[in-house]
Chains A and B, each alone.
Chain A
Amino acid sequence: MQKFSGFSLIRQALSGHQGWQAQWRTPEPKASYDAIVVGGGGHGLGAAYYMAKEHGLKNIAVLERGWLGGGNTGRNTTIIRSNYLFDESAALFDHAVKLWEGLSQELNYNVMFSQRGVLMLAHTVHDVQSFKRHIHANRLNGVDNEWLSAEEAKEFCPPLNISPGMRYPVVGAALQRRGGVARHDAVAWGYARAADALGVDIIQNCEVTGIRRGVNGAVEGVETTKGFIGSKRIGVSAAGHTSVLMAMAGVRMPLESYPLQALVSEPVKPVFPCVVMSNTIHAYISQSDKGELVIGAGTDAYTSYSQRGALHIATHTLDAICELFPMFRRMRMLRNWGGIVDVTPDRSPIIGKTPVPGLFVNCGWGTGGFKATPGSAHVFAHTIATGEPHKINAPFTLERFRDGLMIDEAAAAAVAH
């Protein structure tokens, strides 16, 4: 792997940058692999990388229907945080944050992880109760999360409107200082380059059309648009399309797929220092390094596989943003897009084994999968490589829905009385 650094950039500048090599190869698939990951997003590429790096598997392929990072990796609003309520979630997401903190160096690819702080706004008595519960649980789990008064929140985020006359006044906020954002495309590309350097075959434009199972029910490989590719270990990491893929192996998933929209403004000079989320009035916002305000909200109301959403969702998102930040009313929406999110009954992911021997799945991240990318990839790699879950993803089984052992992070949004 050609090393990236300021020095290499200067050296290459002298030759007009003619010396840069491809960041990953474009191989044709082999007849079979020790492990196949279906889905070339951050989670899938990361899983391949960690399998090669930490589990000694050398003969791995990542199959991507389109282009690397073209799914939710390249469509999300890049918020990263780990101040989740339940022990299982906090462990999983904080595992990810710890990996984020060294990821640029690990991959020798600047993923621009920016720990600028994630501020979650409380507007009601119920919000305060819920946030305090998070903060106490996080403290005892070793996850940073602190309570700010409305005035302290404004000091941290000067554009914030904390006028008591608002329809839903800001009464305080929970702040995770280690939270932030990262450059989404770079995560996919960084993992792809590092995995490729370890010998992983990354095969784009290769759609999986079937999952072949043997007489004993175990997987034998996948049918693809580039022909059959054999493997006894297959990990599905194809957010937005998991149900369709798993159905190919006869597994019915407890997932519903919804469009989720995001939008950006035209770029402006730095004006917004952190990430702000408001669950009560449904909006979140940060400013990219390029200067665009990056904005998102909840999913559309109806299930769909169409990567676009309805106008009224964007409309409601922006009225919330304008309410919280009246100075942004004259800012303009530059681009509005959609992705598909797979949602589980308890809003927590499924990472683990399936009823089909040799078939593993990583899915159900709902609207929050990007933040978990390195952590999820790391434990999924462990699961595929060893056949058993890592202790961090052990609770995130498919069976929990059958057994009733839920990890319901939607708890934070329980009904108000």
Chain B
Amino acid sequence: MSRFRLPKGGRIDRARPISFRFDGKSYGGFVGDTLASALIANGVHLVGRSFKYHRPRGIMTAGADEMNALVGVGADQTRYTPNMRATLVELYHGLVAESQNRWPSLGFDVGAVNDFLSPFFPAGFYYKTFMWPKPAWKQLYEPVIRAAAGLGKAPTASDADRYMQCYAHCDVLVVGAGPAGLAAALAAAETGARVILCDEQREFGGSLLASDTDTAIDGLSAIEWVAKAVEALARHENVTLLTRTTAFGYYPHNFLGLIERVTDHVAQPDPALPRERLWQVRAKEVVLATGALERPLVFPENDRPGVMLADAARTYAARYAARPGTRAVIATAHDEAYRAALTLKQAGVQIAAIADMRPQAEGEWPAAARAAGIEVMTGTAITGTRGRMRVSGATLARIKGDGTAEKGEQFACDLVLMSGGFTPSVHLFSQSKGKLIYDEGLKAFVPGASPERNRSAGACAGETGLHATLESGYAAGEGAVRAAGFGGGLSGRSLTVTEKISAGGGFAGAVPHGRNPSFVKAFVDFQNDSTSKDIKLATREGFLSVEHVKRYTTTGMATDQGKTSNMNMLGILSDTLGKPIPEIGITTFRPPYTPVTFGAFAGMSRGELFDPARRTAIHDWAAEQGAAFEDVSLWKRAHYFPQAGEDMHAAVNRECKAVRESVGVFDASTLGKIEVVGPDAAEFMNRMYINAWTKLEPGRCRYGVMCREDGFVMDDGVVGRIAADRFHVTTTTGGAPAVLNMMEDYLQTEWPDLNVWLTSTTEQWAVIAVQGPNARKVLEPLVGDIDLSAAAMPHMSVREGHICGVQTRLFRVSFTGELGFEVNVPADYGRAVWEAIWASARRFDAVAYGTETMHVLRAEKGFIIVGQETDGTATPDDVGLTWAIGKLKKDFVGKRSLARAQMSNPQRKQLVGLLSLDNRSVLEEGAQIVANPNEPVPMAMIGHVTSSYWSSVLGHPIALAMVKGGRVRLGDTLHVPMPGKTLQVKVVEPVFFDKEGARLND
């Protein structure tokens, strides 16, 4: 075993050894290790390279705040993930990881030349240069910058894993299962409340997992207490325990996003399990027990591999039985580093010295350290380190009264530990829009008041010491559960804690040193290589707001989002600007707390499930006939029905001819349908539609047009009056939801006095259109109780009866210009009735036709399609529908807007027909129309082609267009400039076939 693996202790399972690879080399570890702890236990500290200067970097933390040790994990591209924090990657057998942002190797990285050139690359250097010569930005500078930037590499293959999502409600959500969170959950669970407890780690316990051996809670060791607490929680059916689960976002109204990592730690995952699970939790009350993060010290060369946070080093020794070095120099402004020194000394690490910036260090921990024979130097700062791939020495110097330091003394070491105190993790609290209060003692912000129902407990609330943390956890749990409406509480709780108390303290800012500040690098944001001199440069250049400094220097913008850098940046700003920290303020905390996988947000919404595909009752029949389909909003619609060897045009030509000559059958089920019912139904229709409805008799239909408030056409469709108080409204396929929404909006907010009910019936009715001269003959044998004759059932009428024994609403309507019917039957009978109609129709050489043929046939008749002829800017008059407006109505939606001056400007675009002068060119839909083809660009465009088809029936192309003042241009020749040629068109009336409508009324 490696000499860096301690012979006993820790939370690793020595019975289950693991082998893994890092940068192609094989190593061993144990279940319970993280990648970081296993590397440390193998004596590996060099793990990555920094973003800008490509400086060698090691493992600095033991948790979510890691900014240096980022690795790519995954044996193949379908499961490769870049930028993983080695401190959070759980080890499993066969894990493959690699370092990033280096070429050709981690040890020899060409990019490190940036470090030598760094004097020319201060913060924001790129704003000042690369501007000359101008084309070089695109050709040279930007490609070079882009290639240099970025950390890991995105996977190149599609992800092989799946992700799931779930929703949950609870009375109390406890975030974080360290001592405070466990205590809060215990207190809340006791009352019977629904509790969810989540923690980002593989096991509950938080800081207690790295507890000192002599710490005791209620007579139990810390680990025993955790086990007992978890066991007690697990006994409650109302408690959900989520390990490996990070609460990453706090959204309005106590809505939190949690991400559970289900299989990333498993070598051979169960294929039935998702990789991750996104929990969206609505909690009555939230307890935040998110702990605190240790602050680095900002001193020259504080970034070398082997420089670590003191508490992280302690955690590696105590929790993972990994010895982070052999000889340590410790620099601190806080008592906890002494605790680390003692743990490490026990683990066989020689402690060269502890340099404490504070003038005195007299608490229980410093006393214990001194008693153990460790040299303690107070009033002393660390002013530099040596070594390149691994730290080899540190300089400690006495701090002078003027804020600088003496020359100092060199100490050989392979480990430098630092502690600037602890920053409460107020991320989620701040996301909840809670107010932060600056605590001078901690040199950090702590939670104040929140508009949400939450409370913070333990270290994230600024508590120090285990006893105080547990007390605040119990109190928060009790408080939360009472606020959620539960009585009682934890019965017979005792709390005795044996611990040494940290005196606290802390430091934020740049550590004093006697060296030339312009030529040393003291890192504030390690990953982004932003240094204390960068921050000073920013202030010199006038960037005085903390947000400006952040953006100009990129401090806090790395993948740890400022977890370790924000407070030090504020400290330096405070010094530089001579302003206290609370006056400088703090940058906004944004979700997520730690990065969250895109795939988890997408969940099952992929492929077919990306959007629900809506299919009609007749869909399968069409598919069996070999129909091609098109997407129309969520629907799959049969586009055309090709026969062997036919392309779309051949199929459409055949389908069109058959409808005009005999009969065609069309699935119109996707049209939106709304049942408008009630004593005030006619009045409601009068207000919603531009048409008049009062006089429409039951049994008759009318083509309805609906405008938005702004007077532009929004939707259209045939409306049948079934009874005095009942309308069968149809809408466009895509417009159905918006129409119903607008109707409901008006009904509920503007006209609550109207006695009307609205029901979407789109999916209740299957609709079969039978169109063509033989349509009546097709239906007659199938319909028993409805007289289909022209006299009994004229065009635009509706009857209720039966077809094939099935109840029907039978409309006589036509979108083709032919004699036509639309058979509405309950959707469950749709296919059976369709097949019966199809069998009947085949006696007449019928075709089944799709949307393309429908488009051609209606265009031949000049019927508009909302969304094709109209585009949200056309009034009813623009598309020739003035006749539909109920002139005597006092009001309807859009009427007032239609009265605006410009709405009746004769130069508005109007619907016209176009014929190609060459009689064969089919215009391109969307092509622009000009009066003068010889004008230079920009040309004056007077219109555009909205619909354009080859009419097989007429034997020439036809087009509809919107043209400025089009109705007075009838007969004019206009021009359609296309790339390379200009087509000539004649403006005609927008009806090409059966202008008199004789066929409709047959």
A residues near B, CB below 8 A?
4-6, 8-10, 13-18, 20-26, 66-68, 70, 74, 87, 90-91, 102, 104-105, 108-110, 112-115, 123-126, 129-137, 139-142, 165-168, 183, 185-186, 189-190, 204, 265-271, 281, 287, 289-291, 306, 308, 310-311, 314-316, 318-323, 326-337, 345-346, 400, 402-406, 408, 410-417
- 28 residue pairs bridging A and B, Cβ less than 8 Å apart: A9-B129, A13-B122, A16-B519, A17-B533, A22-B540, A67-B547, A105-B134, A132-B925, A133-B925, A136-B924, A142-B937, A166-B610, A185-B551, A267-B559, A269-B150, A270-B147, A287-B146, A290-B150, A290-B554, A322-B598, A322-B601, A329-B597, A332-B597, A335-B591, A335-B592, A414-B870, A415-B734, A417-B865
| Best-buried of A6, A9, A266, A306 by chain B (most CB within 10 Å) | A266
Q: 7 tightest A-B contacts by CB?
A: A16-B518, A291-B150, A133-B926, A22-B542, A404-B900, A132-B926, A332-B595
Residues of A within 8 A of B554 (CB): 290
| Best-buried of B592, B868, B871, B897 by chain A (most CB within 10 Å) | B871
Interface: B714 (CB within 8 A): yes
Residues of B within 8 A of A108 (CB): 131
State how many angstroms separate the Cβ of A353 from the closest Cβ of chain B.
18
Q: Is A167 a contact of B710 with CB atoms below 8 Å?
A: no
Residues of A within 8 A of B157 (CB): 327
Interface: B201 (CB within 8 A): no
Interface: B928 (CB within 8 A): yes
Residues of B within 8 A of A22 (CB): 540-542
Q: Which of B147, B251, B598 contacts A332 (CB 8 A)?
A: B598
Residues of A within 8 A of B149 (CB): 267, 269, 289-291
Q: Is B153 a contact of A319 with CB atoms below 8 Å?
A: no
* Cβ-closest chain A residue relative to B156: A327
Q: Is A330 a contact of B155 with CB atoms below 8 Å?
A: yes
Q: Is B255 a contact of A311 with CB atoms below 8 Å?
A: yes
State in angstroms the CA–CA spacing of A123 and B591 once bound together: 32
Which of under 10, 10 to 19, 20 to 34, or 35 or more describes the interface residues of B? 35 or more
* Cβ-closest chain B residue relative to A101: B134
Residues of B within 8 A of A290 (CB): 149-150, 554
Knowing A333-B596, A405-B902, A417-B733 touch, does A327 contact B159 (C-beta < 8 A)?
yes
Q: Can you name 6 extra interface pairs (CB under 8 A) apart from A6-B132, A68-B548, A315-B603?
A: A270-B143, A289-B145, A311-B251, A314-B601, A330-B598, A416-B733
State in angstroms the CA–CA spacing of A134 and B926 once bound together: 7
State how many angstroms separate the Cβ of A232 from the closest Cβ of chain B.
29
Q: Is B631 a contact of A140 with CB atoms below 8 Å?
A: no
Q: Is B544 a contact of A26 with CB atoms below 8 Å?
A: yes
Residues of A within 8 A of B134 (CB): 102, 104-105
State how many angstroms separate the Cβ of A161 from the closest Cβ of chain B.
8
B residues near A, CB below 8 A?
51, 79-83, 119-120, 122, 125-132, 134, 137-138, 142-143, 145-147, 149-159, 161, 163, 249, 251-252, 255, 257, 278, 280, 516-519, 533, 537, 540-545, 547-548, 551-552, 554, 559, 561, 588, 590-592, 595-599, 601-603, 605-608, 610-611, 613, 630-633, 710-712, 714-715, 732-735, 738, 865-868, 870-873, 897, 900-903, 924-928, 930, 937-939, 941, 944, 977-979
State in angstroms the CA–CA spacing of A333 and B633 once bound together: 29
Q: Is A112 a contact of B137 with CB atoms below 8 Å?
A: yes
State in angstroms the CA–CA spacing of A67 and B278 once bound together: 36
Residues of A within 8 A of B927 (CB): 132-133, 136
State in angstroms the CA–CA spacing of A110 and B978 once bound together: 39
Residues of B within 8 A of A142 (CB): 937-938
State how many angstroms separate the Cβ of B446 from the closest Cβ of chain A.
22
State in angstroms the CA–CA spacing of A136 and B541 once bound together: 48
State how many angstroms separate the Cβ of B668 from the closest Cβ of chain A.
12
Residues of A within 8 A of B897 (CB): 404
Q: Is A331 a contact of B598 with CB atoms below 8 Å?
A: yes
Q: Is B601 a contact of A20 with CB atoms below 8 Å?
A: no
Knowing A136-B927, A268-B150, A318-B602 touch, does A18 contact B518 (C-beta < 8 A)?
yes
State how many angstroms separate the Cβ of B297 from the closest Cβ of chain A.
22
Q: Which of B138, B517, B537 contacts A20 (CB 8 A)?
A: B537
* Cβ-closest chain A residue relative to B146: A270
Q: Is B631 a contact of A110 with CB atoms below 8 Å?
A: no
State in angstroms the CA–CA spacing of A105 and B154 once bound together: 34
Residues of B within 8 A of A15 (CB): 518
State in angstroms the CA–CA spacing of A61 and B154 once bound together: 46
Residues of B within 8 A of A6 (CB): 129-130, 132
Knowing A20-B537, A315-B601, A332-B83 touch, does A415 contact B867 (C-beta < 8 A)?
yes
State how many angstroms separate the Cβ of B132 from the closest Cβ of chain A.
7
State in angstroms the CA–CA spacing of A331 and B559 once bound together: 12
State how many angstroms separate the Cβ of B582 from the closest Cβ of chain A.
15
Residues of B within 8 A of A333 (CB): 592, 595-598, 601
Residues of A within 8 A of B255 (CB): 311
| Best-buried of A139, A166, A329, A337 by chain B (most CB within 10 Å) | A329
State how many angstroms separate the Cβ of B169 from the closest Cβ of chain A.
15
